Amino acid sequence: MLIAATYCPLLRPLHITNWNMYRCNMPYGIVVLVVAIVGLIGLVFVQIKLARMAAWLSVGLVILFYFLCLLKIHYSFNFIPFHSLERFLDRQIRFKWGWWLLVAGPVLALVGALSEKSKFKIPNQPQTVNNTAKQEL
């Protein structure tokens, strides 16, 4: 869900266009994408510690990205000498619905990584050659 959330609209500056994570900050978006892929690789190869580390890291990265966006919004128009115009332009940048997905993805990953027992169990492989039957021949 985190991978899909990076492409969802997160900010709407001046009611003109929507920005996703890559439009806000491309290198940071790539780091979040790599952490999500590492978490998926950890799940596929049943490396629980790697998946937990990626889940915690993704939660931290999303929280940090939220604060970075707040700072970007509030300090984007500091160069304008008229404070009333600066405050008006700050209010024109809105958060969009993509933040819900961006928060829900790491939280679900963290809940899944911290669960005690795995519901998925790999069955034992049956032996292909029966040694007792081979000796009887």
- Reported as a single tens digit per residue, the pLDDT across 8-29 is 888 888 888 888 888 888 999 9
Residue range 38-47: mean pLDDT, rounded = 90
- Reported as a single tens digit per residue, the pLDDT across 94-116 is 888 888 888 999 999 888 888 86
C-beta atoms surrounding 125 within 10 Å: 6
Where do runs of H (alpha helix) occur along the chain?
Answer: 2-5, 21-24, 26-44, 48-75, 83-91, 98-114, 131-136
- Can you tell me whether residue 103 is helix, strand or coil? helix
Residue count (the chain)? 137
What local confidence, expressed as pLDDT, does residue 40 receive? 92
For the entire predicted model, the pTM comes to 0.74
65 token code pair: 């990205």
| Packing angle, helices 48-75 and 26-44, rounded to 10 | 160
- Reported as a single tens digit per residue, the pLDDT across 49-61 is 999 999 999 999 9
Query: What's the rounded Cα separation, in Å, for the pair 103 and 109?
Result: 10
Percent of the chain with pLDDT over 70: 84
Continuous segment of H or E residues that includes residue 94: strand 94-95
Q: Where are the domains of the chain?
A: 2-136
